[in-house]
């Protein structure tokens, strides 16, 4: 397995140095930068395998930088883990809504950080050549392109994985914790309502084509992908 690169975007030098040291020791190649401008330059030079993004940066917020990365087709599949001192739940949801794939709240343990990075890398590397189809909805697992008819559907990496999981497992009800295990990875510490946030975003992306009905809420149980609904 080739060495994976982690881009650390963190303006507080002691934290940045500590992260760079620990990740280096864990076998990762580390690029460490202290603001959004440097982060963009680093990514333009070489795409990292995962980005560890501090929320509060001096020039642009980590949130805005994440939005920019997720808008750009070249960088949108790079997993972004937001690092935040804000433990308020609204802020975490805002981070996920901006396209972050995961978040970690300061102070965090080295063990938790490494588990989240491993999970992000694992999720990012799943792919095969299949094209999955339901009606006009097509998911190309090789290119990660999702289309309905001629229209390209823009999805964040998490919504893409969620849709892929649903399309591979139609007609069965999955609880939030089952979805967390299957789509987010078993040893990631994410709250169950995170699933609702991403279901909402996935449905919203499919709504203009009336394909949101594919994802049915099974009251009190979870969610079900129902191909007969279209
Ligand atoms: Ca900061």
Q: Ligand 1 centroid vs 78 CA: distance in angstroms?
A: 21
- The pLDDT profile of the chain, 230 residues, written as one tens digit per residue, is 578 999 999 999 999 999 999 999 999 999 999 999 999 999 988 889 999 999 889 999 999 999 999 888 778 888 999 998 766 677 777 777 788 888 888 888 999 999 999 988 877 654 445 788 899 999 998 788 999 999 999 999 899 999 999 998 888 899 998 898 788 865 567 788 899 999 999 999 999 999 999 999 999 899 999 987 65
The CATH number covering residue 60 comes to 3.40.50.2300
Cβ atoms of residues 45 and 31 within 8 Å: no
Question: What is the pTM assigned to this prediction?
Answer: 0.57
- Expressed in angstroms and rounded, the spacing between residue 84 Cα and the centre of ligand 1 is 8
Picking from 104, 124, 144, the residue at the C-terminal end of a domain is 124
Domains in the chain: how many in total? 2
Burial of 61 (0-12, 13-18, 19+ CB in 10 A): middle
Q: Are residues 101 and 186 in the same domain?
A: no
Q: How far is the CA of 48 from the centre of ligand 1 (A)?
A: 20
Query: What distance in angstroms lies between residue 90's CA and the mean position of ligand 1's atoms?
Result: 19
- Of 85, 34, 79, the residue nearest 55 (C-alpha): 85
Which neighbouring-strand residues pair with 31? Answer: 7
Report CA(116)–ligand 1 centroid distance (Å): 20
Interval between CA 81 and ligand 1 midpoint (Å): 14
86 CA from centroid of ligand 1 (Å): 11
Same domain, 16 and 38: yes
Among residues 124, 147, 171, the one where a domain terminates is: 124
Domain end (from 94, 124, 154): 124
Residues 61 and 88 in one domain: yes
The answer on 58 and 79 residing in a single domain is yes
pLDDT digits (tens, 9 = 90+) for 207-221: 999 999 999 999 989
**CA 215 to each of CA 6, 15, 87, 147, 163: distance values in angstroms, whole numbers, following the listed order:** 34, 41, 30, 16, 9
Full domain range(s) for residue 74: 5-124
CA of 54 to the centre of ligand 1 (A): 6
């Amino acid at each position: 397995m080739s060495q994976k690169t982690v881009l650390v975007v963190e303006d507080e030098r002691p934290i940045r140095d500590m992260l760079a040291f620990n990740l280096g020791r864990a076998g990762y190649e580390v690029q460490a930068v202290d603001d959004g401008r440097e982060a963009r330059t680093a990514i333009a030079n070489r795409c990292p395998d995962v980005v560890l993004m501090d929320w509060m940066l001096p020039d642009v917020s980590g949130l805005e930088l994440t939005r920019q990365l997720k808008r750009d087709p070249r960088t949108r599949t790079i997993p972004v883990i937001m690092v935040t001192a804000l433990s308020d739940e609204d802020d975490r949801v805002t981070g996920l809504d901006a396209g972050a794939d995961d978040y970690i709240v300061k102070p965090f343990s080295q063990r938790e950080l490494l588990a989240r990075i491993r999970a992000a890398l694992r999720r990012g590397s799943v792919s095969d050549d299949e094209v999955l189809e339901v009606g006009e909805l097509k998911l190309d697992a090789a290119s990660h392109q999702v289309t309905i008819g001629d229209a390209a559907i823009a999805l964040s990496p998490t919504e893409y994985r969620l849709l892929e999981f649903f399309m591979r497992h139609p007609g069965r009800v999955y609880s939030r914790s089952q979805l967390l295990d299957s789509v987010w990875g078993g040893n990631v510490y994410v709250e169950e309502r995170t699933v609702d946030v991403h279901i909402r975003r996935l449905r919203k992306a499919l709504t203009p084509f009336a394909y949101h009905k594919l994802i049915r809420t099974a009251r009190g149980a979870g969610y079900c992908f129902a191909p007969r609904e279209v």
